[in-house]
Structure 1
Amino acid sequence: MNLGKQLIIAVVFVINGICNAQNTLEITPWTFKNREGHKVDSEKGSFVVKENRTNQNSREIELKFVRFKSTNPNPGYPIIYLAGGPGGSGIRTAQGERFDLFMALRGVADVIAFDQRGTGESNSIPNCEVSVSFPLEQVGDEHSYLKKLKANANTCLDYWVSHNVDVSAYNTIENANDLEQLRLELGVEKLNLWGISYGSHLALAYIKQYPNNVEHVVLASLEGLNQTIKRPKYNQQFLAYLANKVKADPSAAKYYPNVLGMMNEVFDALEKEPVVAEFKNRRTAKTHKVTISKFDLQLVTSFFYLKNPEQSKNLPYIFYQMKHGDYSEVAPKVTQLKQFMGRSLSRLMPLAMEVASGISSKRAKRIQKEKKNALLGATTNFPFPQIGEELAIDDLGNVFRKNPKSDVSALFFSGTLDGRTYLPAAAEIIHKFKNGRHVIIDGAGHDLFLSTPKVKALMLRFLNGDEIESQTINIPMPKWKLPNQEVSN
């Protein structure tokens, strides 16, 4: 999408959005129940937006949220939670482990768990039931995976179009405009934004489009507007950091003195000759065989073992096993990958958002160069950006992908054991925020909000207007899995 089209979206939204914001909001009392059965009084809200603001004849879609009213007699501007993914549900997040954090933030202002378009209760798009699987005996390679996945994605796009869904309307610009319409519907001057991962991507887009409409922003596990596709260089640096932490643990270092060397040895062996591994299905007790290639193992490592310490603590042990010829732990993961990868394309919102945010040609060239020297190549991103090359989804363009310069008061959190979004990438964003503060949690992963009670304390202080300094918080490193211990995945 070029600059002109982006401007059209903004202008059309200003003209239509303000008008629509007069009478579409509906609020009803709601008893909210979390997954543990705790109940709290809340409100269920909904409002109506154009699916595609550049199309005057576009159908309307309903977006929903849950509002937890503030316990503060003089509340600030509402705090809007923006889920990650893309594709996560704000309402479901509030039902889970972060429920207490949602409740605590009521001491500052109303807290709104917002379901973005195409997610949770704001999703009227039917799932595409067409899905591909890959024969377990087949040697996995990038070309064969992509060929099937692209065909699957195109079939799903045709399916959604046949159900009158405007597939071009699911992008981060429209998503940010939904946030602005929510602000107008609520009748408030500003918003406080609280997001993680893709939620930070969306928050940055909103700040860029509506710089005067944000009071405070709290973002974790940052994904910049040109960081949808992660850099292999940063992934390799993360693995090196992980390896150094393992080496610093005397018990783990006894078995894993050189994690990167061990991983490289296993990958080299699989590149020369893929392995046929046998394992028993724990549910059915049946024995299966699966072929494991270097690319299969790169994908499994990227997808299953890097996001949080709960997973990465097992990584050295699993490669230790494979170095000694035992693939029994990783074989079920490869099986899961081959059987269910196609299902990742069954929902339009995450597919379209990723493709639309895209990648600049300069960054694409950099990634192609960097992946040659990275143990996992560019598999952290797979199947993006390649899958978007033949899909009828507009790229938002380089103007969109430029991160904002801002004087918004911002608090940023990063975890050193986050294998999805990386510290150097966060720095690329934060230095453009004049009033930004960066809190690094040494030992935390991607899902860091509950990694230490200090996160909640800092958030409350910050949102209440206290000055927060950039700092590093140290928490215990994971206990690395050692041989003869049970693996927890």
Structure 2
Amino acid sequence: MAEQSFHLAAPVAGVTLALLAALGPTAASAAPPPTDTAGVAGPVTAAASRFVPGPCPEPPEPIEALATARCGVLEVPENRDRPDGRTIGLAVAVIPAVSAKPAPDPVVFMAGGPGGEVFDDIPFLVSSGLNRDRELVVMAQRGNLYDKPGLACPELDRFHARAVGLPSYTPQTEKLMADAVKQCRDRLAADGTDLSAYNSTENAADFADLRTALGFKEWNVYGHSYGSNLALTYLRLHPQGIRAVALDSAAPAQYVSLPFAWANAREGLDNVYKACAAEPRCKTRYPDFERTLNEQVQKLEANPLTLNVSPPQGGDPVKVVLDGGALVNLLVAKAIPFADFPAAIDELARGNPERLAKARAAGSVAVEGQTAHGLTQSILCSEWLPGHSTSDVLKAGREAFPAWPEPVQAQAPQLPFQDQLCRIWNVPDRTADVRVPTVSSVPVLFINGTFDMKTGASWAPKTARTLSHATTVQVPGIGHWVVPQSPCAQKVLASFLNDPSAPDTGCVAGLRWEPFTITPK
């Protein structure tokens, strides 16, 4: 399962009354008269939100669940503060339940990122049982692949592919990334895209409109990573019709900022250290795991390694630069399995960087256009960055990892150079609207993995303080996006959806992490 960052348009065919009726009597009565928008090349004049049935997206790798799904486009105002503005289209799929007698309340999924491509997540959701007893609704958040407009940044995808052969945090790398961001922003702005409208408030309103447009009296919300952030915002602003909310790898809106990334990395890595120390074979074989990692971050940042290695996907060797920043980002992104962490660091210290170098080389095989970087930057620059200076990030890095060199401490893991990039992106500060705790009596389930280095498990109980019917679950040894990786988490989620007031969390007791890889000395 690919990690998401913390990380085009589907044609709309002519609509028939038969397609509209296929959505069910409630949806048919709630929807407007059918309209043929097959020839629309881009956004049109804004109007009230509506769902227009149409063909499902056709990903490069076919998704079996889409063969029986009801699909279409939710048309919404790009900016609800500008009623005379244009309309955008968001791709939607309603996947039928496996059960012959499904529950009437579906599950709607909110993807991570921000900017993650949701249709690629469908196989993971289906294999996790999300549509076993109820319909599963997925919608591409505004700007995503299959939306109109799409906010992909192939310029940035090409930079990331090239960056595996560059030092992580040099001025040259920063300039190349800034140039890519500027090119993308200039292109999107020239197309008339209102980048200030791509934010969590509008995203939440889109989902509220979707429930109404599809005719569901109530539904359940399942959000992962940024999707959990969005789910909390949605619950706060549009509580109507929400039966229950499940938050996987929670990134609570009131806490998310760039310094937040360092605290998460520390918490997850500390839990990996503790797990190794609690496992006799790991403790014996890698007694100085933490010290060895600290030494390697220092050593590589002072003297980066340059290698030519073949990506794990295959193909010709590519140039890879392995420095302290690259090492940290590989660990936070879980570019290698947690079970291999101690072995990989031990191999590196013994002069064998092959395992980590190949993981770094994987980034050279980038698929252009999959991620809506425009949505990523708009949310990051309006909701996560404001209110925190570069010195705040450095301070958080020093507190989390005092032994690491300053160039590494100064950049939030996986989110480098954001102060400069956000000056280029230039969207308004929206922190007053989104950094607000959600207060609710709606049942909420938090599921976090103890090894997660992107969204630390300890944020869940803090966030639950204002949620009077909250249950928190920590699954040992799992990283980001728990449910697809843990059969126990799948059972807990299914129990919660069946009875939100009393989920069965019994399977969590006694769970352990996957044993660490032990290599010969």
Q: TM-score range by the shorter chain?
A: 0.7 to 0.9
Q: Deviation at 1:25?
A: 2.3
Are 1:63 and 2:87 matched, yes or no?
no
The residue that corresponds to 2:147 in the other structure is: 122
Q: Match of 2:502, as an amino acid?
A: E
Corresponding position of 2:292:
262
Matched with 2:256 is 227
Distance 1:285 1:65 in 2: 35
Find the partner of 2:458 among 424, 431, 440.
Answer: 424
Distance in 2 between the 1:52 and 1:236 partners? 38
**What residue number does 2:515 align with?**
479
Alpha-carbon distance change, 158 to 352 in structure 1, aligned in 2, over 3 angstroms:
same
Q: How does 1:413-452 map to 2 (within 5 A)?
A: 413-452=447-486
Shift of 1:210: 1.7
RMSD value over aligned CA atoms? Answer: 3.5
- Once residues 283 and 78 of structure 1 are traced to their aligned partners in structure 2, the CA distance between those partners, rounded to angstroms, is 37
Deviates more, 1:149-158 or 1:418-427: 418-427
Equivalent of residue 331 in structure 1, options 354, 357, 365? 357
Q: Report the CA distance between 1:482 and its aligned residue.
A: 2.7
Distance in 1, Cα, partners of 2:388 & 2:141: 30
Relative to the length of structure 1, the TM-score reads 0.82
- State the partner residue of 1:312: 338
Q: TM-score, normalised by structure 2?
A: 0.77
Change beyond 3 A, Cα 1:282–1:383: closer
Tell me: CA distance 1:62–1:219, structure 2 relative to 1, closer, same or farther (3 Å).
same
Return closer, same or farther for 1:296/1:126 CA change in 2, 3 Å cut-off.
Answer: closer
Question: Once the 2 structures are TM-superposed, how far is the Cα of residue 105 of structure 1 from its aligned partner?
Answer: 3.5
Q: Which moved more, 1:96-105 or 1:278-287?
A: 278-287
- 2:337 is paired with a residue whose SS is helix
1:44-77 CA-to-partner distances (Å, cap 9, x unmatched) read 1332111112223321112221223454758343
**1:349-364 residue pairs with structure 2 within 5 A?**
349-361=375-387
1:128 and 1:283 mapped to 2: Cα distance? 23
C-alpha separation in 2, matches of 1:192 and 1:347: 28
* Aligned residue number for residue 368 of structure 1: 394
Listed as ranges, the matches of 1:143-292 within 5 Å are: 143-225=171-253, 226-229=255-258, 230-279=260-309, 290-292=320-322
From the superposition, tell whether residues 60 and 479 of structure 1 become closer, same or farther in structure 2 (CA, over 3 Å): same
Is the aligned partner of 1:456 residue 2:490?
yes
CA distance in 2, matches of 1:174, 1:209: 11
Counterpart amino acid of residue 295 in structure 2: E
Q: Name stretches of at least 5 consecutive residues in structure 2 with no aligned partner.
A: 1-45
Name whichever of 192-201 and 270-279 sits farther off: 270-279
Aligned to 1:12: none
Task: Give the secondary-structure state (helix, strand or coil) at the position aligned to 2:212.
Answer: helix
- Mark the CA change 1:366 to 1:61 in structure 2 (over 3 Å): closer, same or farther: same
Q: Is the 8 A contact 1:134 1:339 kept in 2?
A: no
Q: What SS does the aligned partner of 1:404 have?
A: coil
The worse-fitting range, judged by mean Cα deviation, of 377-386 and 77-86 is: 377-386
- Range with bigger deviation, 333-342 or 204-213: 333-342
2-structure distance, mates of 1:51, 1:94: 26
Deviation at 1:423, TM superposition (A): 1.2
Letter in 2 for 1:186: L
Other-structure match for 1:26: 52
Q: Deviations over 1:52-109 (max 9, x none)?
A: 1222332111222122345475834332111112223433322346345132131xxx
Q: Structure 1 residues 225-234 or 212-221, which shifts more?
A: 225-234
For each residue in 1:222-281, what CA deviation from the matched residue of structure 2 results, as whole angstroms up to 9, or x when unmatched?
A: 011131533413322321220121122222223211211010111222243333345456
Residue of structure 1 in register with 2:34 after alignment: none
Aligned length: 459
> 1:39 & 1:163 partners in 2: Cα distance?
31
Q: 1:118 deviation in Å?
A: 1.7
Instruction: Note if 1:347 corresponds to 2:402.
Output: no
Q: How far did residue 391 of structure 1 move?
A: 1.6
Kept after mapping to 2: 8 A contact 1:438/1:470:
no
- CA offset at residue 343 of structure 1? 8.2
SS of the equivalent of 1:202 reads helix
CA distance in 2, matches of 1:347, 1:253: 41
Tell me how far apart the structure 2 counterparts of residues 343 and 300 of structure 1 sit (CA, whole Å): 22
| SS of equivalent residue, structure 2 residue 285 | coil
Q: Is the 8 A contact 2:261 2:454 kept in 1?
A: no
* 474-483 vs 193-202, greater mean Cα deviation: 474-483
Work out which of the residue numbers 391, 395, 413 in structure 2 matches 1:380. 413
1:195-220 superposed Cα distances (whole Å, 9 cap, x missing partner): 11111111011111123442211111
Q: Does the 8 A contact of 2:312 with 2:358 survive in 1?
A: no
Give the letter for the 1:227 counterpart.
Answer: V
Q: Secondary structure at the match of 1:380?
A: coil
1 CA distance for matches of 2:138 and 2:370?
24
1:364 positional shift: 6.9
